[in-house]
Homo-oligomer: A and B are copies of this chain.
Amino acid sequence: MTDKRALLTDSALQLFYEKGINSVGINEVLKVSGVAKKTLYNHFDSKEALVLATLEARDQIFLGWLAKRLSEASSNAELVEALFASLTDWFNSRVPELPPFRGCFFINSSIECGETSKAVSIYCQTHKAKVRELIENQLAEPNASLLDALCLLKEGAIVSAYVSQDLEAANKAVPLAMAFV
């Protein structure tokens, strides 16, 4: 009927992000998506291939959302505000486009699969580079040290929000970054 590949990818992304890749078996993905096992292996060579598809899907969703949020900013100061306000919304699960916050899917996946799948860690690394590029392109005027600062603070805020449950971490980053505008 409809595109089974997309259905599988969506269900898997949801489950992988919520429970972690290693905690979710193929069978659970099948059950939730209501797709047969043969069909899954028709579209994907292995679980790893499915994981890579979910990374790709999340990459698109996340970058699309962030690009929209950052596009409003018309100065570097506004960009800083927009970035960390967006993160705070994300951490507090106030973003309709994104499921309830459970950390960064790419950090999580890199840690969960880093040792077993080179492809996964490379994809995660690439995603981070893309986000950096997005921020760079949104800078009203180039500022290399501000860019470094934003990326460092962004990762720090994500981890603090998840591991230390500090949902306001991104707000603490604002005055810091402002010193470099």
Kindly state whether residue A111 has any CB partner on chain B within 8 Å.
Answer: yes
A164 B125 Cβ-Cβ under 8 A: yes
In the bound complex, residues from chain B placing their C-beta under 8 Å from that of A156 are 151-157, 159
Interface size class of A (residues with CB under 8 A): 35 or more
Stretch at the interface among A37-45, A60-68, A73-81, A100-108: A100-108
B107 A163 Cβ-Cβ under 8 A: yes
Stretch at the interface among A17-25, A26-34, A48-56, A135-143: A17-25
- CA A136 to CA B154, docked complex, whole Å: 22
In the complex, which of the residues B145, B148, B155 contacts A159, with contact meaning CB atoms closer than 8 Å? B155
In the complex, which of the residues B112, B152, B169, B173 contacts A111, with contact meaning CB atoms closer than 8 Å? B112
* Contact residues, A139-178 vs B (CB, 8 A): 145, 148-149, 151-160, 162-165, 169, 172-173, 175-176
